[in-house]
Structure 1
């Protein structure tokens, strides 16, 4: 199984350039229990092979995790499937459900 391709800085810039410039940026983490986090820092470095890498970091204090990711975001990321409400049962006149 091949690893997922990684984003380049140029691809992120291209994607972000379509967004409002005054929008805040948050990090979505953990597809199985999706949470939203504030970004704290961006650091350029090199990996063990000498390739340039940019790290986007979450802060260290407890205020960086903002809570659950909105369900529509988890669905858009394909982390969760859309959920529909179960169909309503129709009742007929004079019929009572067993208690």
Structure 2
């Protein structure tokens, strides 16, 4: 089975709600040098991890993995994230 990388909020609707499913999906990183990335994967631990026979004791956590870097984060997005100077 191949994994289709999420491209819109609609792809993540099982994990996120409250957004228009047609909204493009990006991850913003590095506040000092803001860049935007595609989202690579959405996983939940411990469900999606190999436990190697060890029973996890921590509560479940959803993880969003960064994918391919797109470029510099638009100024309007940096402002909305509170990363503007």
For the criterion TM > 0.5, the same-fold answer is yes
Give structure 1 stretches of 5+ with no counterpart. Answer: 1-11, 82-99
Partner residue in 2 for 1:85:
none
Is 1:28 aligned to residue 36 of structure 2?
Answer: no
How far off is 1:49 after superposition? 5.2
TM-score by length of structure 2 reads 0.63
Q: How does 1:32-47 map to 2 (within 5 A)?
A: 32-46=32-46
How far off is 1:50 after superposition? 1.0
User: d(CA) in 1 for partners of 2:69 and 2:44?
Assistant: 23
Equivalenced residues, count: 62
Structure 1 residues 74 and 52 mapped into 2: Cα distance closer, same or farther (>3 Å)? same
Indicate the RMSD between aligned Cα atoms, in angstroms.
Answer: 1.8
Q: SS of the counterpart of 1:22?
A: coil
Q: Which protein, 1 or 2, shows the higher relative CO under an 8 Å CA cutoff with sep ≥ 6?
A: 2
Give structure 2 stretches of 5+ with no counterpart. Answer: 1-14, 47-55
Structure 1 residues 34 and 49 mapped into 2: Cα distance closer, same or farther (>3 Å)? farther
The structure that has the greater radius of gyration is 1
